[in-house]
Structure 1
Amino acid sequence: MKIFDCDRHVMEPLYIWEKYLDSKIYQQYPVHFKHNSKSDVDLPPTYYIGTTPILKHWNDEIQLETALRPQNSDARKLAMSGLGQLQSMDQDGVEKALIFPTFTGYIVNHDKLPSEVSLAYAQAYNRWILDYCLVDKSRLIPAAIVSRQDPSLLAQQVQLIAQQGFKLITIRPEPIQGHHLGEAVYLDFWKACHQFNIQVAFHGGTHLHGDTIGTNRFSSRFSLHACSHALEAQVAFLSLLEGNVFELYPSIKFMFLEAGAAWVPYWLWRLDNICYPEFPALVKDKLPNKPSYYFKNNCYVSFESGEPCLDEVVNWIGSDKLLFGSDFPHPDHQDFDPQELTHAQSLSPELIERALQDNPIAYFGDSFA
């Protein structure tokens, strides 16, 4: 059985920034490692951009646990090159994969960076990832990244991304620089995605220097990680509803990754049955259809290995909207076993196979055929 992995990551080598980034930006805001010399344990280095840590709430306690837990260093090394990525895919039985950044999203969306620095890093990454995937463009399908620090620049970023040959953009679900995705400042961005036939993948992450749900309440890895994916995915969908994006640009396909899928039935039921009918006159112009209609027509969602309630997800949005993403090589999704995908799910093997093969082709067409 072929597996199309819709969430696979690179590990960005440090050298790429000096090579692909504007030299003036690199001199002012270099990405580099800092080593902690205070601990008796050999801690992993901390990523910095200039004088600022790239990750928020990445404290000594987390670093110590990272150093002591079982490592996936071999997988992370493989993810640093296109050839290594292909080797890892062969080991996992993966035919094709969507390729996403790891650290670049934390740099580009960092709330302490000037917009021109954020933009330069986004464009440098996009140049590099195209080279990364050259080793086999039929198997490695890259997602471009955009800088949202200055929303007025988004439309021209999309135009450049389309000219470079990308078909997919990855963005974080939370507000950036105080603007959520449904605000009017993003309308030109959505219009450009529609115009250039660019699809959108939401991919959250823990420890962003930004306005992620939970960061104003918690500092522990456990609580931050609990909030940063599934909760942000729900609110991102709500933001698109609020901004009338689905009605204005129904051709854009949205993908929700690494948040699981079991939240979908609960959220759609609540929006349809509690929120939508409460004050019909307040929503009828913006949302002539129930929220579930837009999810079913515009959105795809990735499921987790062993996740419950997938049968109910299918009841709400259909079996054609399920995707699978391994999150390779990140440590919160270690020990990926392709056999578990067909033996430990709340769906039939036929529907799982559809999610692994047919649905990505439907999402991307020729790119995944």
Structure 2
Amino acid sequence: MSDVIDRPLLDQESTAKTRFRIVDCDIHPSLHARSDLNPFLAKRWQEHMKTYGDHLRTPYFGTTPYPRSSPLIARRDAWPPTGGPPGSDLDFMRKQYLDPLDVEFGLLQVLDMFIFSQQNLEFGAAIQRAVNEWQLAHWTSREPRLKAAILVGQDDIAAAVAEIERCAKVGQYVQINVSPRANEPLGRRRYWPIYALAEELGLPLGIHVGGYGGHPPAGGGWPSYYAEEHQSNAHTMAATLTSLVLEGVPEQFPDLKIVFIEGGFGWISSTMWRMDQHFDRFRAEVPHLKRRPSEYVREHFWFTTQPIDEPDEARHLRSLIEWVGVDRLLFSSDYPHWDFDDPRFAFKTPLTDAERTKIFQTNARAVYKL
């Protein structure tokens, strides 16, 4: 996590800018209120949302099971002066982040409404369509620097495929988003129709941490503390990468690009090493894999940088970047959340100009065809 949590995003006395324009692969817009979705919902679902709300596989109603350490997971200085939650005011986002830090493109990652985890599948389908339309109406049509993703609840395959096809005809989305905490591991064949369509459309598959599939977020059961739950995000992403690779998704869909978002990258090397070691011993069990797992990772997967694992010694971070590969990393800030990574201070280890350009700009341009 960045060490600038209490530092203002913009020093009002400074006009310093980044050395080149940034592509930020993780910006979180928020609803000002749930009623913002009403123009995109049938009357039935407006009444349902007002009367019944969410139906999730968690013991709480309409919230996360582990309260965040700051209201709405946000920085204290990210609340708009006009009211509403952090990330809900476009003008304030421009003033606080997009303009002063010279963000050329920002990819929207919507977390509102737990789209990926709604257990009422009809309501979930209505909500995913409403949120996808809301992104265009409230954000990308007003701010061309911002780019939307097609959000789908991966556990209703038919509704997900229909929504992807609908949004693809609109043509204003740059990726398809699913959740790593699904009802089953994402490598399972039940999810393959989503991957096949993503490959056909040439849209990357984005997998942002989060979701509630009804299973404990940690392998040992339900955590006691938010710190444990937050740590388990990396474990979830490692398990998801393993499932996708060993189940044969990149082998089956050789042109599919997969982006892991907000999972950090400190765990990737050891996960690849372990998969390769086990593949060498158990390859007879997975004959559908034609190459070592690490080869698939290095060709089909990208990873956003936030939250950056920051060891005490900069040389260790340098080694980590080299193991993962500079070409695999995409800068992300996680604005406006509490562990936001300011692009001016995001890396403690020195980067060459060429490396910085790749991570902060050109890698994302290539993946998303910006």
TM class, shorter-length = 0.7 to 0.9
Which of these residues, 157, 176, 179, is aligned with residue 172 of structure 1?
179
Task: Give the deviation of 1:237 after TM superposition.
Answer: 1.0
**2:7 aligned residue:** none
Partner of 1:157 in structure 2? Answer: 163
Give the counterpart letter for 1:213 in structure 2. P
Q: CA deviation at 1:319?
A: 1.6
Structure 1 Cα separation of the partners of residues 245 and 124 of structure 2: 27
Q: TM-score, normalised by structure 1?
A: 0.82
Contact 2:309-2:317 within 8 A present in 1 as well: no
- Aligned 8 A contact 1:302 1:324 in 2: yes
**Which moves more between the two structures, 3-12 or 91-100?**
91-100
Q: In structure 2, do the counterparts of structure 1 residues 348 and 310 end up closer, same or farther at CA, with 3 Å as the change threshold? A: farther
Give the superposition deviation at 1:86: 2.9
Report runs of 4+ in structure 1 exceeding 4 Å deviation. Answer: 75-78
Aligned residue identity for 2:284: A
Structure 1 unaligned segments of length 5 or more: list them.
33-47
How many residues get paired?
Answer: 334
Q: Which residue identity is paired with 1:251?
A: D
State the partner residue of 1:72: 77
CA deviation profile, 1:198-237 (whole Å, cap 9, x unmatched): 211111137x46335228321421111110x211111111
Distance 2:45 2:153 in 1: 15
In the alignment, what sits opposite 2:284?
Answer: 281
- Taking the aligned partners of 1:70 and 1:126, their CA distance within structure 2 comes to 25
Q: Contact 1:145/1:170 (CA < 8 Å) preserved in 2?
A: yes
Distance in 2 between the 1:26 and 1:103 partners?
A: 16
Given residue 55 of structure 1, which amino acid in structure 2 is its aligned partner?
Answer: T
In the other structure, the counterpart of 1:122 is 128
2: CA distance between counterparts of 1:317 and 1:349? Answer: 18
2:335 — aligned with what? 328
Match of 1:8 in 2: 27
Report the Cα offset of residue 130 of structure 1: 0.9
Q: Look up the SS of the partner of 1:167 in the other structure.
A: strand
What is the CA deviation profile of residues 21-77 of structure 1, one whole-angstrom value per residue up to 9, with x for unaligned ones?
222012022389xxxxxxxxxxxxxxx538962223246xx68x649x972343675
Gaps of 5+ in 2: 1-19
Q: Relative to 1, partners in 2 of residues 1:313 and 1:159: Cα closer, same or farther, differing over 3 Å?
A: farther
Offset at residue 98 of structure 1 (A): 0.5
**Higher RCO, Cα 8 Å, sep 6+:** 2
Structure-2-length-normalised TM-score: 0.82
1:143 corresponds to 2:168:
no
Shift of 1:258: 1.1
RMSD between superposed Cα atoms in Å? 2.7
Alpha-carbon distance between aligned partners in 2 of 1:241 and 1:2, rounded to the nearest angstrom:
33
CA distance, structure 1, for counterparts of residue 229 and residue 85 of structure 2: 26
The percentage of aligned residue pairs carrying the same residue is 22
Matched, 1:265 2:269: yes
**What corresponds to 2:352 in structure 1?**
348
In structure 2, the partner of 1:25 is 45
| Secondary structure of residue in 2 paired with 1:24 | helix
- Post-superposition offset of 1:314: 4.2
Deviation at 1:307, TM superposition (A): 3.1
Quote the offset at 1:157 in angstroms.
Answer: 2.2
Are the counterparts in 2 of residues 8 and 326 from structure 1 also a CA contact under 8 Å?
yes
